[in-house]
């Protein structure tokens, strides 16, 4: 059994099998499901470690993060295979994700050496003002299943770089990637208690964390869980950062390059089986290009190779588990019941292995008030909404409770730059898929998609450090 890491010790728990969604007869391993008490113990361990770690030399933090980056990069093929086996994204996507995690650790190894402040003049003569950043303390990190190593990386790396200690709870569906990452950090020299891993269910381990003695929580996951964490954090006057769902629009205008628009939408809506918070599940298309676009996208979907994540040539892996597949199927049925037309896909596919395979679905004739255009499905289902012109497209794009990403395909500079300014999303793309972002730039959304400071890049410091202003009378 693979164990939890608490205070530098591997601690056993209830053994839970980890199942491959491409082949349910493949058991990846058994992982220790922890308890609420484990979460409390891990917080205590992180608090004890914080006393020393907060004053650790930047070079020590740099060395641990660098070493972690190097091992992740060296083992990206092996860890990519493990990730693809437990989550179901294709081998290529999974290997790239491990490489991304390595780059993130590398970036934050550098950030650990760039912990600067400001010194300025006071309004009072002879007084100097120094503004410095200090660690926040013990940070709880709660992550979803869809990016099992990249999302933990973009929380753990900045937390440590800025001198915080962490308690990390991964999603129950993906313990293997989480365990591998923490094992690497442990062997890279992270002192006992600086990084604690508690695997297990949200309702026990997660709940114990959010009710525990943490100084901050960074969460990525569904809007419902995010709202719970916000409420608990408000009660405790505790800082929290929430990255939640999306219902991201991709606008396609009459003047778009059709081939490019199809590629952009195919990738944005369906790659990683549509299981990305940044997926473009609303395709808002102006009437002059609508029919040609729908025909070309339908053809492209028909040509997609859906199958076992590790098989050569697979472009779309399985849905993550039976529960998610049932939910996707229910949305497909609801789309039809509300009058949308199922152009292609949505059905369960049989393959050589017992997995959760579903053909990507494209709905046309949708209106923006239909359930499939309002709610995040988190699967390979996209809704085409036909609009008259750019102005209507912009209005429909912004008419959503979410605001994570948005995109536009056009050759018109005026519309591209107008959309960039007026889109109510945290991230905007022009002639690029809504999913697939850089690691050194801020990541986050607006409205119901995000709460608190941005993640990633240098902006991560806004969450993982606390500002101190000092006045020094040098006279």
Per DSSP, what are the bridge partners of residue 195?
166
Q: Which residue stretch of 33-41, 169-177, 255-263, 265-273 sits at the interface with ligand NAD (rule: CB under 6 A)?
A: 169-177
> Does residue 171 belong to the site contacting ligand NAD (CB under 6 A)?
yes
Binding residues for ligand NAD restricted to 402-431, rule: CB under 6 A: 404
> Does residue 34 belong to the site contacting ligand NAD (CB under 6 A)?
no
> Burial, 204: exposed, middle or buried (Cβ in 10 Å; 0-12, 13-18, 19+)?
middle
Q: Which is nearer to ligand NAD, 21 or 206 (CB)?
A: 206
Do residues 142 and 214 touch, judged by C-beta distance below 8 A? no
Rounded-to-integer distance, Cα 336 and Cα 259, Å: 28
List C-alpha distances in Å: 196 to 5, 169, 179.
Answer: 5, 9, 10
User: If we measure between CA atoms, which residue out of 73, 170, 54, 168 comes closest to residue 112?
Assistant: 54
Q: Which of 243, 265, 409, 455 is catalytic?
A: 243
> Does residue 327 belong to the site contacting ligand NAD (CB under 6 A)?
no
| Smallest separation, CB 245 to ligand NAD (Å) | 4
> Out of 220, 273, 364, 410, which residue is the one contacting ligand NAD (CB under 6 A)?
220
| Smallest separation, CB 162 to ligand NAD (Å) | 20
Binding residues for ligand NAD restricted to 200-219, rule: CB under 6 A: 202-203, 206-207, 210
Q: Quick check: is 243 catalytic? A: yes
Q: Which is nearer to ligand NAD, 163 or 206 (CB)?
A: 206
Q: Across the chain, how many H-helices and E-strands are there?
A: 15, 22
Interaction mask 366-385, ligand NAD, x per CB under 6 A: ----------x-x-------
Q: What is the DSSP string of 197-256?
A: E--S-IIIIIHHHHTSS-SEEEEES-HHHHHHHHHHHHHTT-EEEEE-----EEEE-TTS
Do residues 406 and 248 touch, judged by C-beta distance below 8 A? yes
Rounded-to-integer distance, Cα 274 and Cα 29, Å: 26
Q: Which residue stretch of 77-85, 106-114, 140-148, 419-427 sits at the interface with ligand NAD (rule: CB under 6 A)?
A: 140-148
> Out of 277, 284, 377, 385, which residue is the one contacting ligand NAD (CB under 6 A)?
277
> Out of 243, 274, 383, 387, which residue is the one contacting ligand NAD (CB under 6 A)?
243
Rounded-to-integer distance, Cα 158 and Cα 179, Å: 19
> Does residue 245 belong to the site contacting ligand NAD (CB under 6 A)?
yes
Name the residues that contact ligand NAD, by CB under 6 A.
142-147, 169, 171-172, 202-203, 206-207, 210, 220-222, 225, 228, 243-246, 277, 376, 378, 404, 449
Catalytic positions, please? Answer: 243, 277
């Amino acid at each position: 059994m693979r164990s939890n890491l608490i205070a530098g010790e591997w601690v056993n728990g209830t053994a839970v099998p980890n199942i491959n969604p491409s082949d349910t007869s493949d058991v990846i391993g058994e992982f220790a499901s922890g308890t609420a008490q484990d979460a409390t113990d891990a917080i205590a361990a992180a608090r004890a470690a914080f006393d020393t770690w907060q004053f650790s030399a930047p070079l020590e933090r740099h060395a641990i993060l660098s070493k972690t980056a190097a091992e992740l990069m060296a083992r990206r093929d092996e860890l990519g295979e493990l990730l693809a086996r437990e989550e179901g994204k294709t081998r290529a996507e999974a290997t790239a994700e491990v490489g991304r995690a390595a780059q993130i650790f590398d970036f934050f190894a550098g950030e650990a050496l760039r912990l600067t402040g400001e010194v300025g003049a006071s309004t009072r003569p002879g007084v100097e003002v120094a503004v410095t950043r200090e660690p926040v303390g013990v940070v709880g990190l709660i992550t979803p299943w869809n990016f099992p190593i990249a999302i933990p990386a973009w929380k753990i790396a900045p937390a440590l770089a800025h001198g915080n200690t962490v308690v990390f709870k991964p999603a129950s569906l993906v313990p293997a990637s989480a365990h591998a990452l923490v094992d690497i950090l442990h062997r890279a020299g992270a002192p006992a208690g600086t990084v604690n891993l508690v695997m297990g269910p949200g309702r026990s381990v997660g709940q114990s964390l959010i009710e525990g003695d943490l100084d901050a929580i960074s969460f990525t996951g569904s809007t419902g869980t995010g709202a719970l964490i916000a409420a608990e954090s408000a009660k405790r006057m505790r800082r929290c950062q929430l990255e939640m769902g999306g219902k991201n629009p991709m606008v396609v205008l009459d003047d778009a390059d059709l081939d490019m628009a199809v590629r952009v939408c195919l990738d944005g809506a369906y790659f990683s089986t549509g299981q990305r918070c940044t997926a473009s599940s609303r395709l808002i298309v102006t009437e002059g290009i609508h029919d040609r676009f729908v025909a070309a996208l339908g053809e492209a979907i028909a040509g997609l190779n859906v199958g076992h994540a590790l098989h050569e040539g697979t472009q779309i892996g399985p849905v993550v588990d039976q529960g998610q597949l049932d939910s996707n199927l229910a949305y497909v049925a609801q789309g039809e019941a509300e009058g949308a037309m199922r152009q292609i896909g949505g059905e369960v596919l049989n393959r050589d292995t017992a997995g959760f395979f579903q053909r990507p679905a494209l709905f046309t004739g949708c209106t923006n008030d239909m359930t499939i255009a309002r709610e995040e499905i988190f699967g390979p289902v996209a809704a085409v909404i036909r609009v008259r012109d750019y102005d209507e497209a912009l209005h429909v794009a912004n008419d959503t409770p979410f605001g994570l990403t948005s995109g536009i395909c056009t050759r018109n500079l005026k519309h591209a730059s107008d959309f960039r300014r007026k889109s109510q999303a945290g991230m905007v793309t022009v002639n690029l898929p809504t999913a697939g972002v850089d690691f050194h730039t801020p990541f986050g959304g607006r409205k119901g998609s995000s709460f608190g400071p941005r993640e990633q890049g240098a902006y991560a410091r806004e969450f993982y450090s606390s500002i101190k202003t000092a006045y020094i009378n040098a006279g």
